[in-house]
Amino acid sequence: MTESISDLGRRYVAVVLHVAQDSGGDAVVGVARAWLDYLFHPMLAIFKREKPEPSSSQTPTLDDSSSVILGASRGLQVSLREQVFTRDRRQCVLTGTLDAGTVWADLEASIPTNPRLGILAAAHILPYCFNNFQEDCRRELKDAARTWDMLKSWTCLDLNKLAGEKMMQPRNAILLNSVEHLLFGKFALYFDKDAFPSDENKYKVRFPKQTMLSNGERSPDLDVLFVANNGIPCPDPEFLRIHAAFAKSFTYRVLLSMWSLLREMRRNYRGKPQPEPLATSQEVRDRGSIFVGNIYRATTPDEAQARVKHLKHFVHRSRKATHEIAAWRCMVLKPGRTGLDGPDDFELKQGSKDDGESWAGGKVLKVMQNMAVIDAVVIVSRWYGGTMLGPARFAHIETCAEEVCKAFKRTEELQDHLTTLRTLDDILSDLRKQLSALNPEPPSESLATPESTPDSPEPSPARDQNSKKPDYQGLDVTKAKRLIQARESSIKSVRALIAKNSEKT
């Protein structure tokens, strides 16, 4: 709201927030999500063609004004390029770089000694891709129209200034080198009119963060004066103010940092094994809202927080949840302890996060406490469907949490049984070696293999000492219990044989 370029734009934000506040906290979150999905993210992700899912029915309603923005032919780009090249004298307005493709075309042009050459392009101030409507793609048309409508409401932009072919006019473009073109498109630099309010076409170049230009300068102190040439007008100050408003908003909301963080996270994830949930619940749907629970192994609170970020920013990157409600319980060493002195060296660390869904984190934590789940983090994701559910939402959150906690306990029980089973296997192997040393002849089948059952994955007990260990992959709790009983019976039988042979010797 602070960076809107007009009083009416600020009033629009205030009114929408006021109406949403009267409808409850979910509506406020829905409005914020709508602005991010349909206004700020599309502007920031100009070069990405993915379209976010609607987060809430609280999105401000469309009016007919967006319909005046008609598709413009991409062929007009050639004409636009020629006009902008002429107006800006084939030089990048920031670095003075000359276009390598056209600098020699006009032999009468005054070319400086040792000119800096580059690839220049006419950079749109307001992005062309929003105007690229396809009649056969209703969803893209709907999303683009929504973005234009919100852009109009926030900036009070007169859409008639960009209707149809006007999108490709010189007033909506400036000549930039390829590097500066990319920085301008991602709002890493902008033109500040407030620095020179009395000079109509003079601007101060601002850099929200330390940035290197193509000429090697880092965030230089630059003033730019646009001059009309051959009847070709200067860039529209209103368009540049809108671009600057987005750049300032991204800076103040740390969205640029978040964008860089997400890109860094994606780079780090490539080629590395990703944490997999131990269990995922069934979807719970109610009046458009969707609830899904996941549980991850986490032995420290930091690891739990990392799993929440992984789910939110990586797993759900293409379908952002409205809330990622989390709770964790971890048994950790006390400061200065080694763990060698027993249970007193450990303490339980637990916590929760609501992520905008008040009291929801505590509900998930209570489920974990009741089911004695430790060394895990439970995350219940909610996609808001536009209708507030009241207390019913907590029942759905608890249902998802209970389902994954039960699965976690079953997994823990199975792992305990497998550990016991492998320990018994080692004991039985050692006992068989002792028996072989006492009696070179192999024991009878009835005594040596009482544990063999149709479900047992173990090879014949008459195996030699170098035989492979049993593979228990795919075993369930019931079969594991049965095999444990069989191993205990085998150990008892082999010990009896050892005792009998020892008496003989």
Among candidate residues 374, 406, 438, the one where a domain is terminated: 406
Cα–Cα distance measured from residue 205 to residue 224, given in angstroms and rounded to the nearest whole number? 7
Tokens of 28: 């406020």
Residues in the chain: 505
Query: CA separation (Å) from 81 to 74, 99, 139, 503?
Result: 12, 12, 30, 102
Range of the domain at 202: 7-259
Structural domain contains residue 182: yes
Tell me how far CA of residue 252 lies from CA of 125, 191, 218, 257, 388, in angstroms.
21, 17, 21, 10, 31
Is residue 92 located within the same domain as residue 192?
A: yes
Residues 170 and 138 reside in one and the same domain: yes
C-beta of residue 277 within 8 angstroms of C-beta of residue 376: no
Give the CATH number of the domain where residue 397 resides.
3.30.230.30
| 49 and 120 within one domain | yes
Statement to judge: residues 235 and 95 lie in one domain: yes
Within-domain flag for 270:
no
| Mean pLDDT, the chain cut into blocks of 10 residues (505 residues total) | 60 66 61 65 50 38 44 67 88 86 56 73 77 47 61 72 75 90 84 86 86 85 90 90 79 51 55 80 93 94 91 85 94 86 87 92 95 94 91 95 94 88 88 81 50 45 54 82 89 87 74
Residues 6+ apart with CB under 8 A from 235: 125, 170, 171, 172, 173, 174, 201, 226
Q: What 3-state class would DSSP assign to 229?
A: strand
Question: Does one domain contain both 304 and 202?
Answer: no
Q: Is the backbone of residue 276 left (phi > 0), alpha (psi -120 to 50) or beta?
A: beta
Do both 230 and 343 map to the same domain?
Answer: no
Q: Is residue 274 part of a domain?
A: no
Domain-located, residue 268: no
Last residue of a domain, one of 382, 406, 430: 406
Distance, in Å, from the CA atom of 82 to the CA atom of 119, rounded to the nearest integer, reads 14
**Interval 236-250: pLDDT, tens:** 988 888 888 877 776
Instruction: Say how many CA atoms lie within 13 Å of 257 toward its Cβ.
Output: 9
Number of domains into which the chain is organized: 3
**pTM reported for the whole predicted model:** 0.44
- Residue 380 and residue 470 share a domain: no
